[in-house]
Structure 1
């Protein structure tokens, strides 16, 4: 079994420092002691300051003069040499780890990763090792290629930071690794999954737990990972070891946003993966979709939450906040739909969000 070194002193102790203290304790001046053991004072000074290593001959001189066994002085020298060599090796490893982290930090936020993952070590090597263990980091250059290949679009009116988005996706993948499904994903069960989710989302009672249970029993991993700064992310869909995954941020903490985000990512799973499991869809806030995959996932979400055949029966109301909210809330009640999911859809279609909240819009 390999022996692990649990502690490496920060500073190697010079045997000359021990000799210096010994002479001071005995009240012996260095020049007098040099004369006593037959050495030039300059040579003794070099031993004391580590410019010369303690030899067997010098240790025997010390043994004779100070009555301290020569093997003690030789052991001090050996310990110093080993500690110094080990520290040099660690310094090289620390510098290499620092250089690697510096390259990674150009692509992902090391500060945010260590904070979210609870990594508090002051050793660069330890930080890098823990990040590798938790995240399975690819080389920086390869990670950059992955970032460029991710499916997300930037909105000109929203501050998107690709570096922070990639950081968040790594956190999402680390979190999803902890999740276990209880069933197997079967695309033929699409209608049943949609209906179960739709019912739970419109009812909005113990919503997150019930959504999670539905997805897990149908072989879809699900979790919530809080967003980072400059990452207006709503959801993320991908495959982890051949298991479909959905991660949402609960960015606005409103039932209409949450419902749409879950269904949007579910749309990616049903519509856009097929045999190619290497795609990753990161959904960020946009004023208008410019990507066909995202537009298709939007339509899937809208139609899943409120089927088009029902939506066509929605009331026609003049563009007045009070009238829109009143009429669409009444219409939602008649069709046993969540009024905020309904208002969220009409608000999105009209780009109109001035609705008066009554405390029921949150995720319950």
Structure 2
């Protein structure tokens, strides 16, 4: 990312071409009425130009060139610089107004992760964050992420900043855009999930590239994006377009049972639900029935009902029996532990040694 110049002077005022024109007439001892006669413009128009109520057009610039001997380019450049200065002054005022929004963006971690550059000036930092989001101003944030404030309602047990959630989602979009994908094919994705299930016993350096490859071939980009503060999100699913979906994972809970359940849960959303919806795991205010359907899908994919029910009936939940059952059905033992704990068949502090714990490289 190219650095922006830091020594460029940006004045907080704008000098209009009309002011320059007025000074030029005074220097020449020429009245506005005389200039009107020389240019063929009306006296009213000349007054409007001097008072900066009218802009200098190419046609007007040519008339001034002939009447005053000052090049048309000179007047047009003055007009261009004046309009740019006005726009920058207006933009500075908007940035000043939007600085409170910036406080809800986790800048410290985003800069550590090299998502954005750190700026010493608050308004320059705001511009940097707007570039990251790919929006012109904070007003467009509401247009791009209209449902986040709905998803995170006040009764959420955690303090959640929708702005931080959107930053996490935006990073997922950026990374997903760099993953070449074939057009989405439901049957191909379903087949990919069967192969990915066999990867749960592998370490991340093995399973991550393989699952990304399998999903990309079926039209789904899988991205791993570190969780940001004030987000509380473990995963998300959405569609970039009709032929490309995103599964985004945060490793919020660190362990393999949560990671794989979240992945298959998100896959369930892709196979079972519409392409216009955003699914966020960890948010309130979402469609409870669709979340239940995705949960059921993940459970069935990871632990086939008949085999898991038979194992439960044995009522022997120790490390040896869990490891043996997991090997029998070809899945990581931590996933079995997690599901037993979820169903309150195993205390939360039992058999956790069978789970794999993951860490991000930057940690």
TM range (shorter): 0.5 to 0.7
- Which residue is equivalent to 1:354? 349
Q: Work out whether 1:222 is the aligned partner of 2:219.
A: no
- Which residue is equivalent to 2:9? 9
* Displacement after TM superposition at 1:195 (Å): 0.7
In 1: Cα distance, 2:312 partner to 2:146 partner: 48
Moved over 6 A (4+): 84-89, 152-155
Q: Which moved more, 1:193-202 or 1:324-333?
A: 324-333
Contact 1:158 1:285 in 2 (8 A): no
* Displacement after TM superposition at 1:331 (Å): 2.0
In 2: Cα distance, 1:144 partner to 1:237 partner: 14
* Displacement after TM superposition at 1:237 (Å): 0.3
Normalised to the residue count of structure 1, the TM-score between the two structures is 0.64
In 2: Cα distance, 1:252 partner to 1:325 partner: 21
* Displacement after TM superposition at 1:325 (Å): 3.5
Contact 2:220 2:245 in 1 (8 A): yes
Structure 1 residues 89 and 133, CA, compared in 2 at 3 Å: closer, same or farther? closer
Normalised to the residue count of structure 2, the TM-score between the two structures is 0.65
Deviation readout 1:238-296 (Å, 9 max, x if unpaired)? 011331111000123322111111111000000111xxx2210010189xx98111111
Write out aligned runs for 1:275-286 (5 A): 277-284=275-282
Q: Work out whether 1:265 is the aligned partner of 2:266.
A: yes
In 2: Cα distance, 1:291 partner to 1:318 partner: 31
Write out aligned runs for 1:59-78 (5 A): none
* Displacement after TM superposition at 1:166 (Å): 3.2
- Which residue is equivalent to 1:345? 339
In 1: Cα distance, 2:6 partner to 2:203 partner: 52
Deviation readout 1:292-346 (Å, 9 max, x if unpaired)? 1111111111111111122122143669xxx443432222233333211111111
> Which runs of 5 or more residues in structure 1 are unaligned?
13-54, 58-80
Contact 1:264 1:301 in 2 (8 A): yes
* Displacement after TM superposition at 1:168 (Å): 2.3
> Which runs of 5 or more residues in structure 2 are unaligned?
13-25, 29-77
Rg larger in structure: 1
In 2: Cα distance, 1:114 partner to 1:332 partner: 38
Q: How many residues are paired up?
A: 284
Q: Work out whether 1:296 is the aligned partner of 2:289.
A: no
Contact 1:94 1:123 in 2 (8 A): no
